[in-house]
Amino acid sequence: MNNALGQVYNKNMERHRVLIVDDAPYIRELLVLILTKGGFEIVGEAGDGAEAVQKVQSLKPDLVLMDIVMPLKSGIQAAQEILEKVPGTKVVMMSTVDQDIMSVKALETGAHELIRKPFRAAEVLEILNRIMKEKKMASRQEEKQL
């Protein structure tokens, strides 16, 4: 079946579980729409880094899509904590163009990718699908080694 984003989505495909974290509700709503139409399962949303850490521990998403600049706990601080507490979680950070120094720090913490705002729907889906494909391939390699 084709969706509004021009992506082909097979209902029998594995749906990857995503937590969306951004302090701007309209960004979260937009990402929910994009990812849902792209075949991802949205397991939750958070408005700050502290809430993100709590939700990752309880919801166990495959991937966290998180803004860098947020109240209470930045995305960088939250990513460090998430990767320490739930190591298999993939973290993708989002940033505006004027936050280059913070973007570098985010990648240094172990974030897998950086998406620049404003973003295009196709770009977000391409990045997340690639990361999840790489995760699946790594899991298969680990299974073969056992």
The identity of residue 117, as a single letter, is: K
Spell out the domain ranges in the chain: 17-145
Task: Give me the mean pLDDT over the 43-52 stretch.
Answer: 98
Better-predicted residue by pLDDT, 143 or 131: 131
Better-predicted residue by pLDDT, 135 or 125: 125
Structure tokens at 118: 């404003």
* CATH topology classification for 17-145: Rossmann fold (3.40.50)
Cα gap 11→32, rounded to integer Å: 18
Q: Residue 4: is its pLDDT beyond 50?
A: no
What is the pTM for the complete model shown? 0.85
pLDDT, tens digit, 9 for 90 and up, residues 77-120: 999 999 999 998 999 999 886 666 777 777 788 888 999 999 99
Q: What DSSP string runs through 59-98? A: H--SEEEEESS-SSS-HHHHHHHHHHHSTT-EEEEEEETT
Note the pLDDT of residue 98. Answer: 63
Exposure b/e, 100-132, CB count within 10 A at least 16 = b: eebbebbeebebbbbbeeeeebeebbebbeebb
Pairing between strand 63-67 and 41-46? unpaired
pLDDT confidence band for 132 (50 / 70 / 90)? very high
